[in-house]
Amino acid sequence: MKYTAVNFVSADIEEWQKDLLIAELGDIGFDTFEDNEDGFVGYIPSSNLDIQALETLLLVQVSDYQLDYTVNDIEEQNWNTLWESNFNPILVDDACYVRATFHEAKPAYDYEIVIDPKMSFGTGHHQTTSMMLSFVLANDFEGKRVLDMGCGTGILAILAAKRGAASLVAVDYDPICVDSVEENKQLNNITNLESRLGSKDVIVGEKYDVILANINRNILLDQLDTYASVLEMGGQLYLSGFYEGDDLNILRDKCDTIGFSFQEMKLMDSWCAAKFVKG
């Protein structure tokens, strides 16, 4: 697959602003990012690059700092090899060890998850994924019907399965992610996980005990009504992909209006994850 590199240069962008911009770029097709001294580089399949969409995004998002960008087509290369060179194992709460197939196994930990990223979001390295994994470790999933929305690699659903979930559905709009879930559930010997291509429309009319959704604030706001309709009374809703402060307050206000009560939150480098209960 041919890729295009877009080099974003800014002398005064804050780290939280960069993280927010990267999240928004992911929504318009960018799937890999790399920091450099002047800013960062975003990679996108050349066929998916829409300059008008990029300009519109930057017009809305970039107001408090100066940002320039350049676009360069790059030679085809083995992108999985590039991932491998930048993917190190992580340990969450001294209990869950996340590694790739090319790392040494460490069965001494309570849970070991093997992930082949395949350029899809969800290796555990991002703060939001790490906090969601921590929530899964700390809460009861035994016998639960679990929905993982915006599943990426399926890492959250895989840990929930290892924590005793009875059945799991993992949903993502990106076919690369769905393929990644299928491969990763085999790597982890998970047999009760179904992957689906789509969005909130593919879960309408179903019932779940737990919903995991690590996406971004705007998508969460759009999907919360659907979550409320498919989650059983007393069911648990875990959200991440947003910042503390305004983002969390807006989500909490929306959750209050549709029957979710806020329970607790986790913070990591200004990123936030929150637990709600229906009813």
Binding-site residue set for S-adenosyl-L-methionine: 129, 150, 172, 214
Provide the annotated binding site: 129, 150, 172, 214
Q: Which of 275, 144, 269 is nearest to 207 (CA)?
A: 144
